[in-house]
């Protein structure tokens, strides 16, 4: 009898042993009974019916890191850029994550890729390259609702890299080089223009000063002539003496010149000077 009971207990112990499940920390397991969802068992020791029930899915409750592969994205101004990202998600509803989507990790990866293309496609190149925070915020908001339907929570989405494609980089470098040449040409032309203006202003100022000097000289000459004329009328003898002195000095200079061989002088210098002044 004892041996018979022992024989009967062996299958029971085997069934109990097969029904013992120890769930590690950081995971939750989905138990199905007769092919239908039965329960979610949390970390710790559990015993299930090994005949009618089984553990169908083991889901991590830790944050999941999804690497979003690099992809080409066309911006609103038809520029091609390369962008990739990383998403941090967490399973908050095991039943939805398991039965709501076939592969929630792959679904989220495709969702992020599609949303990233859509968001960047609505920006021009400069906006896409300088608006990482905006792209991140819009990307997280665009996938949050779908993630919630699948029992997931989007913790964060980060843009790892966003840059122009190699061909686009070459075109941008050529454009930047052309822009630098244009700025240099404009600067050089502006400098030449300013130099011409300054030279013209300098010539104008010089001409103005020269005209003023000629005016002053003419006024001085007129005043000198007026004074001399006045003196001639009032003191004819003084004028005769002055002109005679100048006449003699001129003749002396002519006489010492190397080009002068013969100097003809009037016999009556006084009368000659008087003739010059109109005197008698």
Percent of the chain with pLDDT over 70: 73
pLDDT surpassing 60 at residue 192: yes
Claim to verify: residue 30 and residue 17 sit in the same structural domain? yes
Q: Which of 111, 134, 164 is the last residue of a domain?
A: 164
Same domain, 68 and 129: yes
| CB neighbour list of residue 63: distance below 8 Å, 6 or more residues apart | 88, 89, 90, 155
Joined tokens for residue 210: 């020269």
pLDDT(67) > 70: yes
Pair 50, 71 in one domain? no
Assign 276 a pLDDT band (cuts: 50, 70, 90): low
DSSP tag of 76: T
Other C-beta atoms closer than 10 Å to the C-beta of 113 total 17
User: HSE-up of 57 (CA within 13 Å, CB side)?
Assistant: 21
**Same domain membership, residue 121 and residue 206:** no
Q: Is 30 exposed, middle or buried (0-12, 13-18, 19+ CB in 10 A)?
A: buried
Question: What CATH number did the domain enclosing 143 receive?
Answer: 3.30.479.30
- Both 184 and 257 in one domain: the answer is no
- CA 73 to CA 80: how far, in whole Å? 6
- Please say whether the beta carbons of 129 and 100 come within 8 A: no
203 and 239 belong to one structural domain? no
22 with 77, same domain: the answer is no
Span 80-98, average pLDDT: 90
Domain that holds residue 258: 235-280
Q: Which of the 8 DSSP states describes residue 102?
A: S
The residue ranking higher by pLDDT, 138 or 192, is 138
Banded pLDDT at 165 (limits 50, 70, 90): confident
Question: Taking the alpha carbons of 117, 118, 124, 127 in that order, is the dihedral positive or negative?
Answer: negative
- Asked which of 114, 140, 164 is the last residue of a domain, the reply is 164
Give the model's pLDDT for residue 237: 57
Confidence grade of residue 181 (pLDDT, cut at 50, 70, 90)? confident
Mean of pLDDT over the chain: 79
E strand spans, the chain: 20-23, 27-33, 36-41, 44-47, 53-60, 64-74, 80-91, 152-164
pLDDT of residue 112: 92
Instruction: Examine the domain organization and report whether 102 and 159 are in the same domain.
Output: yes
Of the candidates 164, 189, 214, which is a domain's last residue? 164
Total domains in the chain come to 4
Q: Are strands 80-91 and 64-74 parallel, antiparallel or unpaired?
A: antiparallel
207 and 246 inside one domain: no
Assess whether 143 and 191 both reside in one domain: no
The whole-model pTM stands at 0.56
Give yes or no: residues 49 and 140 share one domain.
no
**Do 208 and 266 fall within a single domain?**
no
């Amino acid at each position: 009898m004892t041996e018979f009971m022992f024989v009967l207990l062996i299958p029971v112990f085997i069934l109990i042993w097969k029904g013992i499940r120890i769930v590690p920390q950081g995971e939750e397991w989905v138990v199905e009974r007769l092919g239908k969802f039965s329960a979610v068992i949390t970390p710790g020791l559990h015993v299930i019916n090994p005949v009618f029930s089984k553990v169908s899915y083991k889901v991590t409750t830790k944050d999941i890191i999804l690497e979003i592969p690099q992809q080409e994205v066309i911006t609103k101004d038809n520029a091609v850029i390369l962008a990739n990202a990383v998403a941090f998600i967490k399973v908050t509803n095991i039943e939805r994550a398991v039965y709501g989507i076939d592969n929630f990790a792959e679904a989220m990866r495709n969702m992020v890729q599609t949303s990233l293309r859509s968001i960047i496609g609505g920006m021009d190149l400069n906006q896409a390259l300088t608006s990482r925070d905006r792209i991140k915020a819009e990307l997280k908001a665009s996938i949050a609702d779908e993630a919630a339907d699948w029992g997931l929570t989007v913790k964060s989405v980060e843009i790892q890299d966003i840059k122009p494609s190699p061909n686009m980089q070459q075109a941008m470098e050529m454009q930047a080089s052309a822009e630098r040449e244009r700025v240099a040409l404009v600067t050089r032309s502006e400098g030449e223009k300013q130099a011409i203006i300054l030279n013209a202003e300098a010539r104008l100022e010089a001409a103005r000063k020269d005209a003023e000097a000629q005016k002053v000289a003419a006024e001085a000459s007129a005043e000198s002539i007026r004074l001399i004329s006045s003196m001639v009328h009032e003191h004819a003898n003084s004028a005769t003496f002055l002109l005679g002195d100048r006449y003699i000095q001129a003749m002396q200079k002519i006489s010492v010149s190397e080009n002068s061989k013969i100097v003809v002088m009037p016999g009556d210098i006084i009368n000659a000077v008087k003739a010059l002044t109109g005197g008698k």
